[in-house]
C-alpha cells in the first residue's frame, strides 16, 4: 500500500482493488461514498493509465533525520531540538519533514503522527511515544494536522516536532489512549453520531495494547502522513498513508550513532595481533564488531576482517581493546592503507571509517622494502628520487632545448651532486653538467612536483575543457623558456569523472606501468595528505628550496613553513618520516635540520604531544634516536600521557634506545613519573627487563622512589612480576629499602608471599636474606569513605525490622555499629606471616626468622657491597671494573670478535646472551652486568680473556692496570 501511494507509476488494477476493499483507513463504507462524492469518485471507470494521472497520493518531499534524541517527559522543560529534515545543513538551511499531496483539488488536511517502524501485529501501529509540538508552553500531542489547499499549495512542512520517550511503566496507558482516539475517529467517519466506544472495543484495545507494548521497539519510530478531507465535521481519507524512513533514538546503544572517538595507534604490523585501544560512543558489548577493510581504486571492498576481542574487552560501553587481524598479505613490503570502522550486527549500521595502515613485518625485511622503493610504481618523482634517475619517468620524456643556455650560475654544493648523478645516468641528453642544471632550473620540475601534492589542478594546467581528466600519461616538454608544455597522450582511464584532480595527476606520474596504478585515498580526498605523502612533500619542498638558494633568513622561515605543515593528528613531516621509517627522507631532513637553529622543529609535538623523538623511540629506530639526540632533540619532553621518551623506550623494552636516551637524560628525569605514576625504573621492572633496570640504576635512577599510584618501589614491582633476577640485583647491588611499604602498607615480602607462581618461594628467601621483616604489618583498611559507606548500607538493610524509627535513631545505630567494627578490625594489620597461612612452605621459611635474627641479618647486609678500593683512588671510574677508555676499547674488540659471548659463558652469564645480543654493544652490557653483579674481578676477566685468545683485549686490560698502579703510587 505504501508503495502504491509513494510511487504512482507502479499503480495497477490490483492495487486499486486492494485500496477499495482495504482497511478502515480507506473508508470503504458505501455510505460515505454516497453521502459525499469525492472529486475522484469516478475512478473505477477509468483505465489504470488514466488512474495514474488522476489518483491523489502523498509524496514525501523531505525525509526526517535518521537519528534524533528521544526525550523523557521529565526533560521536556525548556525547548530542545526538533526533528529536522534529512538534508538539513547544520549552519546553512534548516529543513523539516515535508510531504506533498498530489493530484488533488480543494482543501485538504495532511496529518502527521508517530507510528512504529515495522509491522507490529501484521500492520503498522501508532507508536507509544509521543510526537509533540510546543505551543504556548504546552506540548501538543500528535496527530498534527496541517491544512493545505490550492491557495497555499499542497506541501505540508512539519516544524518543531519532538519525540517524548514514554517511560516503560506508562507504555500501556499511552498506547490505550492513542488507540481510543483513533478508533473513535474511524468509527465517526462512518457514523458521525458515535461519541464513545463500547466496552467490547475497550477490551479489545486493551488486549491489543498489551500485546503491542511488549513488541514495540522503543528506539525507532516513523512518521505517518495521511491526507484527509473534512466533511460534516469528520475526516475522510483521501489516499493511503505514507510512512517516513525510521527515526532512531540517538541515546540508545541499540540504535545510537556508532563513532570512533579516539584510537591508540593507526598502524599495525601486517601480521596483526597488535593491541589497539579505541574510545567509542556508547556500544553494547554483545553487539559490536570492529571491521578492517581495504578498498581498491574503484572503491570496491577487496578485503575485510575483524578485530579480535571478547566481551570483557569492551570497557563500560565506551572503550574497546582489541587485537588487529592480520592483513591478507603478510609479505607486503610497503605500507598498505586500509580502513577501520565499528559495525553493529543487529542493524548492520557502521561508524565512519577511519584510516589505518598495515606496515611490513620486521621479518619480511627492510631490505625487501628498500628495493621496492626504487620501483616506478611506488615512487613519485621528487627531487629526492632524482638520485636514482632511472626511476624517474618524467626524465625520459624531456625534450632538451635545442640551444643550451650559455649562462651558468655556480651551483650550490647540494644540488651539484644530485645533478652529477643524473647526468651520468642520462648521457644522451647531450648537455654538459652546467647546461643541464640550467635546464632543470628553467623546467622548474620541483615546483610541478610539489604542486601535485598540494592539489594539483589538472584542469587548470591543461587548459579548461581542452583535455579531459581521464588521461593516464602525459609528455612534458619545454621550449627552453620556463614554460611547461603538457601534452595529452592516449589511454583513457574510463574512471569516475568525479575523481579529484589530485589523483589524476598522481596517475600521470606513475604511469609507466598501467597495470599497477593504484591511486590511494580516493575516499578521503578532501582531507589532508597521509603521512607518507606529507613526508615526501616536505622533502620535495626542501630540495626545491635548496636549489633556489634563498638568503638565510628566507631559508629559515621557509623551512619552518614547510615543517609547519601538519596532518590532522598533528604529525609534522618529521613525525611522518619516522612513522613510516623513510630513512632516505629522514636523512634529507636531518641535513637541513641539523644546522642548529631548528630546535623547535626537531621538538615539534603532535596532538598527543609526542615529539619525533618519542616516535622514533616507540619504533625502536635507535639510529634515528641517536641522530635526533645528536642534533639537539630534547629528551625531556613529556607526552599527554606524561611519558618521556625514556618511559616509552622502557615500556617497549627498546634497550638500544634506552641507552641512547640515558646519555642525554639527567638523573632527575630518570626518576620522573608518568601519568600512570611510574618511573622508567618501575616500568623496566614491570617489563621484566633486567638490562633496562641496570641501565637505569647506573644512570642514576632512584631505586627507592615510589610510584605515585600505589606507592611501590621498583622492588615491589619486581616481586609482583615474579622477577627473581631483578629483585636479586636490586637487593645485592643497590641500597634499596627492602622493607619499604607501599600505600597499603605492604612490603615486597607481602607481595612475594602472595605471588602466584613458583617464584614465590625464591623471592621470599631472597628478601629474607636481605633482612626483610616478616612481621611488618600492613595498614588496616579504614577511612571516612568506607565508614560512611557502611553506614548507608546499614540504614538500607535495616528498616525492614522497624518501620517507624526516625532519622536520628538510624544514625545513632549506624554510628555505633561502625565504631564497633572499627575497634574490632583495628587490632592490627596483616604481616607477611599472616598472609602465608595457606602456603606451608613459605610459612616455614618465614617462621625461621625470629625477631632476633632480623637484627643479625642487618649485619649480613653490609657485607656484599665490596666497595672497590680503587674507586676512591680513580675518580673517573664509571664501570667500576674498567675506566671508560679501556671499557670502550674492550667493547670494541669483543663486539667485533664476538668474544663477548664466550666471556659471558665463562662468567656464568650465559642467560644474558640472548637478551643483549641484538644491542648495539653487547660487551658493554656484559661488563656493566659483571660490574653490578659484583662477583667478578678484573683479574678474573683478564684470565678469561687470555683463555679466549683475546690478546688485544688482554693488552688493554694490562695497560689499564699499569696506569692505575702508576697513578696510585704517585698519589701515595
Partner DNA sequence: TGTCATTTCCC
Partner DNA sequence: CGGGAAATGAC
Residues that bind DNA (CB under 7 A): 69, 71-75, 78-82, 165, 167-169, 218-219, 251-254, 282, 284-285, 311, 314, 316-317
Q: Which is nearer to DNA, 69 or 441 (CB)?
A: 69
CB of 82 to DNA, least distance (A): 7
CA distance 44 to 586: 81
Q: Which is nearer to DNA, 80 or 489 (CB)?
A: 80
CB of 67 to DNA, least distance (A): 9
CA distance 431 to 439: 9
CB of 229 to DNA, least distance (A): 33
CB of 322 to DNA, least distance (A): 15
Q: Which is nearer to DNA, 466 or 800 (CB)?
A: 800
Q: Which is nearer to DNA, 75 or 866 (CB)?
A: 75
Cell numbers given for 71: 526525550
From the list 243, 252, 250, 251, the residue with the least C-alpha distance to 222 is 243
Q: Which is nearer to DNA, 789 or 911 (CB)?
A: 789
Q: Which is nearer to DNA, 69 or 190 (CB)?
A: 69
Q: Are 355 and 339 in contact (CB under 8 A)?
A: yes
Q: Starting from the edge strand earliest in sequence, which strands make up the sheet with 98-102, in order?
A: 57-62, 98-102, 155-157
CB of 945 to DNA, least distance (A): 58
∠ CA 422-427-430, rounded to 5°: 110
Q: Are 437 and 401 in contact (CB under 8 A)?
A: no
CB of 321 to DNA, least distance (A): 13
Q: Which is nearer to DNA, 200 or 316 (CB)?
A: 316
Neighbours of 299 (CB within 10 A): 10
Q: 647-652: long-range contacts at Cβ-Cβ below 8 A with a sequence spacing of 24 or more?
A: 647/672, 647/674, 647/678, 647/680, 647/683, 648/614, 648/617, 648/618, 649/617, 649/680, 650/680, 650/683, 650/684, 650/687, 650/689, 650/692, 650/696, 651/683, 651/687, 652/617, 652/618, 652/620
Q: Which is nearer to DNA, 256 or 272 (CB)?
A: 256
CB of 351 to DNA, least distance (A): 15
Q: Which is nearer to DNA, 409 or 792 (CB)?
A: 792
Hey, is 149 helix, strand or coil?
strand
CB of 210 to DNA, least distance (A): 16
Q: Which is nearer to DNA, 75 or 296 (CB)?
A: 75
Q: Which residue has the cell 638490562?
A: 691
Q: Are 142 and 113 in contact (CB under 8 A)?
A: yes
CB of 80 to DNA, least distance (A): 5
Q: Which residues pair with 165 in a beta bridge?
A: 72
Residues comprising the chain, all counted: 972
Q: Which is nearer to DNA, 88 or 377 (CB)?
A: 88
CB of 819 to DNA, least distance (A): 21
Q: Which is nearer to DNA, 310 or 970 (CB)?
A: 310
Q: Which is nearer to DNA, 93 or 169 (CB)?
A: 169
From the list 231, 230, 229, the residue with the least C-alpha distance to 239 is 229
Cell numbers given for 690: 633486567
CB of 352 to DNA, least distance (A): 15
Relative orientation angle of helices 899-906 and 922-933, to the nearest 10 degrees: 20
CA distance 485 to 421: 25
Q: Which is nearer to DNA, 191 or 346 (CB)?
A: 346
Q: Side-chain half-sphere of 32: how many Cα atoms within 13 Å? A: 26
CA distance 964 to 972: 12
CA distance 461 to 810: 85
∠ CA 541-546-551, rounded to 5°: 115
Beta strands in 281-363 (DSSP E): 289-295, 301-306, 314-315, 319-323, 336-344, 349-350, 354-359
Beta strands in 333-400 (DSSP E): 336-344, 349-350, 354-359
Q: Is 154 exposed, middle or buried (0-12, 13-18, 19+ CB in 10 A)?
A: buried
CA distance 274 to 619: 14
Cell numbers given for 593: 635540520
CB of 218 to DNA, least distance (A): 6
CB of 78 to DNA, least distance (A): 5
Q: Which is nearer to DNA, 188 or 285 (CB)?
A: 285
CB of 756 to DNA, least distance (A): 20
Neighbours of 161 (CB within 10 A): 23
CB of 42 to DNA, least distance (A): 47
Cell numbers given for 30: 458505501
Amino acid at each position: 500500500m505504501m508503495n502504491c501511494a509513494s510511487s504512482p507509476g507502479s499503480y495497477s488494477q490490483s492495487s486499486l482493488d486492494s485500496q477499495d476493499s482495504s482497511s478502515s483507513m480507506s473508508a470503504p463504507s458505501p455510505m460515505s461514498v454516497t453521502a459525499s462524492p469525492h472529486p475522484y469518485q469516478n475512478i473505477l471507470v477509468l483505465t489504470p493509465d488514466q488512474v495514474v494521472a488522476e489518483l491523489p497520493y502523498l509524496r514525501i518531499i523531505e525525509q526526517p533525520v535518521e537519528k534524533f534524541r528521544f526525550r523523557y517527559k521529565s526533560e521536556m522543560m525548556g525547548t530542545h531540538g526538533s526533528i529536522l529534515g534529512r538534508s538539513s545543513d547544520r549552519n546553512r538551511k534548516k529543513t523539516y519533514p515535508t510531504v506533498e499531496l498530489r493530484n488533488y483539488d480543494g482543501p485538504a488536511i495532511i496529518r502527521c503522527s508517530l507510528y512504529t517502524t515495522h509491522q507490529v501485529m501484521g500492520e503498522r501501529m501508532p507508536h507509544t511515544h509521543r510526537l509533540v509540538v510546543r505551543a504556548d508552553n504546552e506540548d501538543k500531542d500528535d496527530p498534527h494536522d496541517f491544512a493545505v489547499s490550492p491557495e497555499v499549495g499542497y506541501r505540508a512542512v512539519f516544524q518543531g516536532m519532538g519525540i517524548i520517550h514514554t517511560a516503560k511503566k506508562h507504555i500501556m496507558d499511552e498506547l490505550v489512549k492513542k488507540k481510543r482516539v483513533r478508533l473513535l475517529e474511524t468509527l465517526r467517519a462512518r457514523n458521525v453520531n458515535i461519541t464513545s466506544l463500547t466496552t467490547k472495543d475497550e477490551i479489545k484495545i486493551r488486549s491489543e495494547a498489551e500485546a503491542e507494548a511488549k513488541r514495540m521497539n522503543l528506539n525507532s519510530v516513523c512518521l505517518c502522513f495521511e491526507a484527509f478531507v473534512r466533511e460534516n465535521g469528520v475526516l475522510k481519507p483521501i489516499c493511503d498513508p505514507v510512512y517516513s524512513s525510521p527515526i532512531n533514538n540517538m541515546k540508545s546503544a541499540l540504535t545510537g550513532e556508532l563513532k570512533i572517538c579516539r584510537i591508540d595507534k593507526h598502524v599495525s604490523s601486517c601480521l596483526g595481533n597488535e593491541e589497539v585501544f579505541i574510545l567509542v560512543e556508547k556500544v553494547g558489548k554483545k553487539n559490536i564488531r570492529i571491521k578492517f577493510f581495504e578498498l581498491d581504486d574503484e572503491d570496491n571492498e577487496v578485503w575485510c576482517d575483524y578485530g579480535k576481542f571478547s566481551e570483557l574487552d569492551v570497557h563500560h560501553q565506551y572503550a574497546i581493546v582489541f587485537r588487529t587481524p592480520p592483513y591478507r598479505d603478510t609479505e607486503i613490503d610497503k605500507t598498505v592503507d586500509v580502513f577501520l570502522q565499528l559495525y553493529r550486527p543487529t542493524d548492520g549500521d557502521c561508524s565512519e571509517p577511519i584510516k589505518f595502515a598495515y606496515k611490513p613485518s620486521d621479518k619480511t625485511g627492510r631490505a625487501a622494502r628498500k628495493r621496492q622503493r626504487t620501483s616506478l610504481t611506488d615512487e613519485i618523482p621528487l627531487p629526492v628520487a632524482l638520485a636514482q634517475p632511472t626511476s624517474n619517468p618524467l626524465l625520459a620524456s624531456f625534450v632538451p632545448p635545442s640551444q643550451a643556455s650559455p649562462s651558468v650560475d655556480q651551483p650550490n654544493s647540494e644540488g651539484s651532486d644530485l645533478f652529477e648523478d643524473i647526468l651520468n645516468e642520462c648521457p644522451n641528453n647531450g648537455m654538459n653538467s652546467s647546461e643541464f642544471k640550467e635546464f632543470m632550473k628553467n623546467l622548474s620540475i620541483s615546483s610541478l612536483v610539489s604542486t601535485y601534492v598540494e592539489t594539483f589542478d589538472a584542469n587548470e594546467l591543461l587548459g579548461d575543457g581542452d583535455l579531459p581528466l581521464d588521461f593516464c600519461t602525459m609528455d612534458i616538454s619545454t621550449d627552453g623558456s620556463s614554460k611547461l608544455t603538457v601534452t595529452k597522450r592516449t589511454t583513457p582511464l574510463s574512471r569516475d569523472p568525479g575523481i579529484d584532480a589530485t589523483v589524476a595527476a598522481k596517475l600521470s606520474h606513475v604511469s609507466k606501468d598501467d597495470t599497477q596504478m593504484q591511486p590511494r585515498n580516493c575516499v578521503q580526498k578532501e582531507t589532508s595528505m597521509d603521512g607518507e605523502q606529507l613526508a615526501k612533500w616536505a622533502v620535495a619542498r626542501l630540495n626545491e628550496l635548496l636549489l633556489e638558494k634563498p638568503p638565510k633568513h628566507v631559508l629559515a622561515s621557509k623551512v619552518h613553513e614547510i615543517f609547519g605543515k601538519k596532518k590532522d593528528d598533528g604529525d609534522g613531516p618529521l613525525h611522518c618520516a619516522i612513522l613510516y621509517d623513510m630513512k632516505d627522507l629522514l636523512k634529507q631532513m636531518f641535513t637541513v635540520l641539523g644546522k642548529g637553529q631548528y630546535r623547535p622543529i626537531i621538538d615539534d609535538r603532535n596532538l598527543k604531544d609526542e615529539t619525533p623523538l618519542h616516535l622514533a623511540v616507540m619504533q625502536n629506530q635507535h639510529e634515528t634516536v641517536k641522530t635526533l639526540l645528536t642534533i639537539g632533540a630534547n629528551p625531556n619532553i613529556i607526552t599527554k600521557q606524561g611519558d618521556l621518551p625514556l618511559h616509552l623506550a622502557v615500556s617497549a623494552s627498546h634497550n638500544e634506545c634506552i641507552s641512547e636516551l640515558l646519555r642525554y637524560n639527567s638523573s632527575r628525569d630518570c626518576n620522573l613519573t608518568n601519568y600512570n605514576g611510574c618511573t622508567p625504573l618501575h616500568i623496566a621492572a614491570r617489563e621484566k627487563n633486567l638490562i633496562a633496570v641496570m641501565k637505569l640504576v647506573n644512570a642514576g635512577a632512584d631505586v627507592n622512589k615510589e610510584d605515585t599510584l600505589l606507592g611501590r618501589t621498583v622492588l615491589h614491582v619486581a616481586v609482583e612480576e615474579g622477577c627473581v633476577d631483578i629483585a636479586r640485583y636490586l637487593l645485592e647491588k643497590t641500597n634499596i629499602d627492602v622493607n619499604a611499604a607501599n600505600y597499603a602498607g605492604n612490603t615486597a615480602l607481602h607481595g612475594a608471599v602472595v605471588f602466584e607462581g613458583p617464584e614465590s618461594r625464591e623471592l621470599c628467601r631472597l628478601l629474607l636474606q636481605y633482612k626483610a621483616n616478616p612481621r611488618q604489618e600492613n595498614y588496616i583498611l579504614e577511612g571516612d569513605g568506607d565508614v560512611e559507606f557502611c553506614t548507608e548500607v546499614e540504614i538500607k538493610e535495616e528498616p525492614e525490622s522497624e518501620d517507624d524509627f526516625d532519622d536520628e535513631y538510624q544514625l545513632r545505630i549506624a554510628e555505633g555499629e561502625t565504631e564497633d567494627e572499627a575497634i574490632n578490625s583495628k587490632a592490627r594489620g596483616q604481616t607477611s606471616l599472616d598472609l602465608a597461612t595457606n602456603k606451608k612452605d613459605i610459612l616455614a621459611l618465614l617462621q625461621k626468622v625470629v625477631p632476633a635474627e632480623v637484627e643479625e641479618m642487618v649485619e649480613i647486609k653490609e657485607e656484599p657491597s665490596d666497595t672497590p678500593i680503587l674507586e676512591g683512588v680513580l675518580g673517573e671510574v664509571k664501570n667500576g671494573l674498567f675506566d671508560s677508555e679501556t671499557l670502550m676499547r674492550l667493547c670494541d674488540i669483543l663486539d667485533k670478535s664476538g668474544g663477548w659471548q664466550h666471556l659471558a659463558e665463562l662468567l656464568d652469564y650465559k642467560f644474558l646472551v640472548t637478551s643483549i645480543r641484538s644491542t648495539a654493544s653487547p660487551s658493554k652490557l656484559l661488563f656493566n652486568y659483571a660490574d653490578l653483579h659484583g662477583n667478578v674481578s678484573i683479574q678474573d676477566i683478564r684470565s678469561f680473556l687470555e683463555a679466549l685468545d683475546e690478546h688485544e683485549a688482554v693488552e688493554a686490560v694490562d695497560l689499564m692496570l699499569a696506569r692505575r698502579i702508576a697513578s696510585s703510587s704517585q698519589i701515595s
